[in-house]
Amino acid sequence: MVLFQPFMSTPHLPLAGLQARPPWQHEAPVALLPHVLRLTAPNPGLMTGPGTNSYLVGSPATGWLVIDPGPLEPTHIERLWQAADGDIRLIVCTHSHADHAPAARPLQTLCTERGGHTPPVLGLPSAPTANAASQFSPDRALADGETLTLRDAAGQVLHRLQIIHTPGHAANHLCLLLADAAGTGLLFSGDHILNGSTTVINPPDGNMTAYLDALDALDAACARLGLGYILPAHGHVMDQARTVIAQLKAHRLAREAKVQAAMSARPGGTLDDWVALAYDDVPPAIWPVAKRSLQAHVERLQALPGSSR
C-alpha cells in the first residue's frame, strides 16, 4: 500500500517500442511490449493511485508469469486468466499487502479448475511483524539472486527474471529484474519505487534503513544489468531508472533532515508534534498516513551512533 503524494516528475521516453504512458483502463491488458502486458486492477484511490498494476511476462510460446495478481477482485482475476489465455506458469507476489497478493490463490485455483495445471505461487512469506491482513505463505520462498525462466516447447529459455530482495516497505518485499535476449531491461519494482509518489514505510514491518539499503542494491543491479526502465505496481512506466532511484533516495534523505530538524526544535515531542514541521509541504489531511513514514525516520535516527534517543 502506498501514499500518492507527488515528489518528482520523471520523463517518459519510450525506446524499442515500449509504451510508457498508455491510457488507464481496467477492462483489458495493455501491451507495453510484445512480451510484457499490464492489467490494472479496478481499485483506484489515495493509497493505490490508478490501481494496482498486475504484469504478465511471456508469450503464447512460453506461457505467462504473473507479477502481483492484485486484490481479491473476481473480475480482475478473470481478466488475468483471459489475458494469458489460461496459460499461466508462475504467479509471483512482490509482497503480501492487501492490494497485491490476495488474488494469488484464487488465480491459481482458476488455472487448476479450467486448465488442469497448477502454477506455483512464489514470493516471500510474511514476517511476524506483518499485520493480520498481510499474512502470506507462498508455495515456495524465492531466494535472493534466484532466476526464474520461461521456456518454449523446444526448451529454449526466452525470458529470465532475476529476484532481488528489497525489504523496507514490507519485510517480505522483492523486485524482479528482466534482462533478456529481446534487449529488454526492466525493473518490476512493486511498491518499492513508484511513479510520482513515495511509498509508505510503516514500522514494524517497514524499516527505513532497510528501504534505503535496498535502493542502493537496486541501483547497483540496474548498473550491472543495464536496466533502463522501472515498471511500478502503481503508476506509469519510468525511464532513466538510475536517475529515478537517485532522486528518490535524495528525497528520502531530505525528508529525514526535516524530521531531524523537527525533533531538535521540539525535543521530547510526539509524532503529532513533529509531523506538522517535517511534513509542512503535505496537506494536513495526509498527516495521519505520513506519520507512519515519520515514525520510520525517527526510529532510524534514534538508532544512529551517537543518538541520544
pLDDT tens, residue order, the chain (309 aa): 344 343 343 443 444 456 556 667 888 999 999 999 999 999 998 888 899 999 999 999 999 999 999 999 999 999 999 999 999 999 999 999 999 999 999 999 999 999 889 999 999 999 999 999 899 999 999 999 999 999 999 999 999 999 999 999 999 999 999 986 555 689 999 999 999 788 999 999 999 999 999 999 999 999 999 899 999 999 999 999 999 999 999 999 999 999 999 999 999 999 999 999 999 999 999 999 999 999 999 999 999 876 655
For 203-220, give one letter per residue: b (16+ CB within 10 A) or e: eebbbbebbbebbeebbe
CATH number of the 2-240 domain = 3.60.15.10
**pTM summary value:** 0.91
Contact by Cβ (8 Å): 103, 69:
yes
Q: Which residues pair with 64 in a beta bridge?
A: 58, 88
Classify residue 136 by its DSSP letter: -
